Structure 1
Amino acid sequence: MFGIPGKGTCSLRMLSKPLRKQLGRRNHLSLYFVLSFHRFPIRTSSYNRGVCRMGRSRFFSLRIQIVLLLIVLLGLPMTVIGYTYYTSMMSSLETIERDHAYDASAAAHKLTDKIGKSLLDSVITNAHWEDFWNAVEQKDLVWIEKNVNVSNSVIPNVHFTSTIGLDGTVITQSGDVPEFTGKLAYPEILERLGKEDVFSGFVQTAQGIAVLGVAKVTDETENAKPNSLLVFGRFPDKEALADIKETLHADLALLPAKGAPLGTRDDVESLLRAHLAKAENDSEYRYFQSRSLNGERLAEVVSPFPDINGKPLGVMYVGSPSDTSERVSNQIDKLSLIVGGVLLLLVILLAVFFQRRVLSPLLHFSGIVGKMASGDLTGHINEAQARRNDEIGLIAVSLQAMIRQYKSIVAQIRETTDQVAASAGMLANSADTTAQGSQRIVLEMQATADGAAEQTSGAEQGARSMQELSKGIYQVSEHSSRVADVSRQAAKDAEAGNALLGETCRQMASIGEAVAHSSNVVKRLAGHSEEIGSIVEMIAKIAAQTNILALNANIEAARAGEHGKGFAVVAAEVRKLAGQSEEAAGRIEELVANIKADTVDAMEAIEKGAHEASDGAASIRRADEAFQTIYEAVCRISADMQDVSAVSEEMSASSEQLTATVEETAAIAKRSAERTDEIVAITEDQLSAMKGVSESLDSLNRLAQNLKQAVTVFRIDGKE
């Protein structure tokens, strides 16, 4: 079945037998191609719509997908790693900074405790003095005032002294500190004396925070029973804290629960007060913060500082500069920016690499395939791409070979179309000539039939005349003369019919030659079908090899892990293209198989037509032999009738013999009339067949023109 544009479908079996006899295998395949071409037109509009959709969704092009993939595979992991590394480094720096600040805070506590310990040396020297012990025992206040109480004016950094009895009563004092005048205001000191002989610590006084050094009064050997305790006190000032700052290289500030702050910085009171309540309730409380102040990064710690009994007395601030951490943090920030820039440059370079090595060739191939879809076979493959040893090079070589094969096929189809048109024209002329000859044969055979009918009628009439011979010899002679004339005319008609039959035999020979030529053309076209099948097989092999290579690329990409996902996407696209090529090859192979099947049908039809033509030729030869027999019989009749005319006067004597002769002549004339009718019927059938041949050849010529017009859609070397 073939699809005819605008006329639905048809089959070669729907054509007349003469037309199927005239079509050779090559003409048959060409007709199949043009009809199939119109039945399955190239859908260039669908391809253009696909290109337009690709243009509208450009954001999802392969180039953008690769860039996004590189960002996902490289950018995100590197960003996560960098962020993790950055946060880890910053956390480590913060930990180091916190530990350093805590160490500075601990050192500050030790240095402040050292203030008290420095007082203990003076306190022990005076408390472990036998004369002093005796003065306490004897209540010699004058001696105590002259030798001990003068310590606040003699010993540096001793601001007050107090000699206190074991019951807490102040024996004598200097410095006038209310808490150490009259009655000791800190019973905790007496409690601690039950455990320790000497100790130091902070207390809160009306005049501010004081550092105390406390020791029991005894002799130098510490054998005498203690009878009192000696207290030396110092009020820490900014100078003392400045010394600690110089030692620690850190700012120091103290804020007691009751009283004003004291320190080397004046802007931390609000910070200290914010944590004072928490520090009073938790002796282990520590607060750390890191901040930039006036362009300087500080690590600050707020912690409680204890009184002489170990209970929180207030809070201590230690602020140490962290320039090293600041510099390291800045270096990490710079390094992060450099790594980010290098990563961005790497993504750009990889994107450019994929653009030049993969995307550009694919876009080039897509443009060539688009031109082929619209019938333009003038596209050329870039030689540099064809020389590549990778999958792109394999696709380029395969596409180049496919273009060459398509060009060859289109050129052969054009040549075949011209041959079909020429053969159809010659067959049409031969059919017209044969039809005209057949028309003349019909007319002549009809005339012969009429003459045979008249001959039969005359013979019958002669028989009746012989029976009525007694009625008149004259009538017999007249009838004999008319019969002789009719016989001569019949002889002429038989001779003309014989000549026309000879012409018919020659026309049948021409028809046989045309059928043989058509058979050769179809055979050559079948050979081209075999070539197309080989080409399709080669395309299928190439597509299978491309599919295997894409599968291998997927395997290698899977082995590469995260770094091979981009190649896996490219390999998937290549595998998809190979699948499409293999599918197209399968469709072409199916088309070629249908062409081969129809070619076999055409060969069978041609062979059958040749057999029928041979049978027709044999029938015409038999008709020619019959005409020859009629011609000889008519000649004999004419001679006999002349003899009858010559011996008509002897009819009376030989009437019985003449009657028999006339009856025989009537029988022969009747048989001649019957055979003439058969020849007329055969000739009319031949005339009808030749008209069908002429009409079929006209249809074949139109189909050849349609094929020629359909092939013009293909452009080869810039020409249509």
Structure 2
Amino acid sequence: MRKYWGEIKQFFNNRGKRYKEDTHRFTVGRKIFIAFAIIFILIAGFSFSALSGMNSINKKSTEVEETWLPTVERLGEMRYLVEQVVAFQLFYASAETIGEMNNFDGRFEEIFTRLDELFVEYEKVLTSTEEKQVYNDFKAEWSNYLEVHDEVLTLSRANDDDSASTMIKASRQQIEVVESHISKLVEMNQNNASKAAEQGKEIFVNSMTITIVLIAFVLTAAIIMGILLARSISKPISEVSASVNQVAQGNLTIEPIIVKNKDEIGTLANDFNKMTNSLRMLILQVMENSEQVASTSQQLSLSADQTKKATEQIEFVIKEVASGAETQVNRASEANHAVSEISKGMEQAASSILAVSDLTVSTNNNAHMGQEVVSQTISRMNELENKVKHASAVIDNVGELSKEIGQIVSLITGVADQTNLLALNAAIEAARAGEHGRGFAVVADEVRKLSEQTGQSAEKIKHLIQDMQIEVEKAVESMTDGMNAVDNGMIMVRKTGDSFEEIVHMITEVSSQSQEVSAIVEEVNASTQSMVTLIEGIANISVQSAGNSDSAIVSVVQQNATMNGITTSSEELSTKASELQELVKKFKVK
């Protein structure tokens, strides 16, 4: 028994050391933190990728809206004003009065002022070297045209119609060169707009592909980690709870719990297995000792009966001391031997009861330690519940971020609608320009298509964000299930604590009964020692003369009273041993 007690003591001394090493183990709290940290990082990466793609699409839309569309509009207006100059020039040459010519001079001045403003605005947005070269050629040809234009006006005022007609033909040739340069500039801007549109499409396709892959990966990772985490927590706790219920019902023959977890739950399962094994050995020892006590008490009762009979015979012999002194000495010797045997049996019973008492005290301490382990497990489960709630709040924040992304997509849709409206206005202006505005109409139509594509892409992103919000809600539901699993685990652990309290109560009863039996055995042993002393006195008295028979009779009466006390004590000891056996039978150990 002392060997078992040493092993149990060593086991619980090592418990404190192992709990100090918790910070170096892969605990349940760390598992949850790492799982949701990974999910958060994946969601952050997905959000960054989606925002980056939408930002690139927004840049391309802004480029079309703020660069290429205004440039095409300026070129269209330049062409329109140049054609007005040509038309007014013909009207100027055919004017019959100076007043009409003066009116056209005012119109020319307004057109030239507006053209100068357009030139300044266009020069600010020039990008490529090739475009700058074409623009410089255009400005040079325009300057040449203005010289011819001024000559036409001068000849028209001088009424030199023939010379004016010749110069008008020259100006037409010059204006064709000017318009060819404008057409080249329009074509360059069309190419740039088409290139921006293609880049926007490519960015959208890439962003869409990356977003779909990331969403699938994040959802798969979240579901897998949630399932694995829930299983690693709920399954071992259920096994421990079922085993604790069996122990609480007195069944110590259960199989050891096998848990592969290297966390608090695995430690709890291993400690429970060791505690169950120690408790099983303790109950077996108590059973053996209680049986031995019962057997010893029966032997004690039989020996007491025999001693009582021998005492009665001694009393009879003393009355006839004159004729049977030698026989009395022999009977006294037999009684002395029997009482010595009783004394040895009582010493052995006292030793066994003391060992039982020590084991029950040790078991009671171990059960209290097990109860403390369950309390620590409840504390860890509370921490686990708080961390799961925090992870749920993080998922809710991700849902809010997806709503903000949806607002950004709505803003992009609005920009696309405005771009479409601008393209429509540009098409109307191109229609007003007639044949010369056809190229500008083509550019406006391309811009309109690009804006429609941008709007459609934004709508697809909007639906994608809505799908992501639905999946985030599913993740929140999964987290809620995880919290429910943790709550169920808390209920099971609390039931485990209640079962430990019942075990402690039962062991306390065993300890109390053992202490009572020990007290009775000590009392019987003391009475037996007194009886040995009395019998020795009887033997000495028997050797003495018959004149001492009265003293011997008194001693025999005292011995008879002592034997009655021994008989009563042995019967009480037998009753307590039976009660102890009935109490221990509640435990099933085989």
TM-score (norm 1): 0.42
Judging by fraction of residues, say which structure has more strand: 1
Which protein has the larger Cα radius of gyration, Structure 1 or Structure 2?
Answer: 1
Give the structure with the higher percent helix: 2
Q: Relative contact order (C-alpha < 8 Å, sep 6+): which is higher?
A: 2
